[in-house]
Structure 1
Amino acid sequence: MQTLAVVPTGDAEAEDRGHREADGHHHPAPGQAGVGLGEQSIGRLVVSAALLMCVPLAAIGMSGVLTMKLFGVGMVFAVLVDVLVVRILLGSAVMKLMGRAAWWAPGPLARFYTRYGIKETDVPTNAEKPVAVAG
């Protein structure tokens, strides 16, 4: 009888890195999958920052001075439209339409990343790969 155990090995990561380097792209995931990963990782931060900005702006909107009230309400509306429509909906749609071109890094930035060993993803050094163990 054989048992299946998960033993960390570096083969899967090296193979994945080799495929990404072979086609010249060093992004975490191309196309729609990459957009989804980006939205998951940064979406909560962007929405939280927008809500934090809306609190003091809403306080300004409750002012007794009409000009300040218009300014506060208008800015709250502008911030919410910016985060919900522009950053979440249009940003995702444009990245999906651009496909692989959305992951292009300018030459100086790519050289800077290479020089200082900066990676775009937090890939663990040892990928987990199932290995059959006789038991």
Structure 2
Amino acid sequence: MNAAQERKNLSPGHSNVTEASAMDIPHGPICRTVAPVLNRVGDKWSMMIVMLLGDGPKRFMELKRAIDGISQRMLTLSLRNLERDGLVSRHVTPTIPPRVDYELTELGESLREPVQGLGAWAMAHIACIRAAQDRYDAVETD
């Protein structure tokens, strides 16, 4: 297998998918259906928000202070999208000024474990990923 082919495969020469099972599943429609969900949960801000809300309800400014580099607009958009997807709920307490708290819904809670797993995987493999990036960049600049 040449280098170009090797880059295309996650594990060259190994596959657990049989021809019969691959033909039974209409991958195109499934991928189109779940792509928006995967985009949401794969977004770095959404993942950070989910992990922070895993410790309990938080106010907007608590989240903003805890997430380094997020703008107020991006936090607002991310929270709205998570709320729209049913992962976060928003509670307004009618005080002056109004108090707004965000917390994970039951569905959002179910996302915590996979997000933690992905974070653990990233931490365990960051050195390998950086080494691969360095090798790739060295070849690309030659």
Give the TM-score normalised by structure 2: 0.24
Rg larger in structure: 1
- Structure with the bigger RCO (C-alpha within 8 Å, sep 6+) is 1
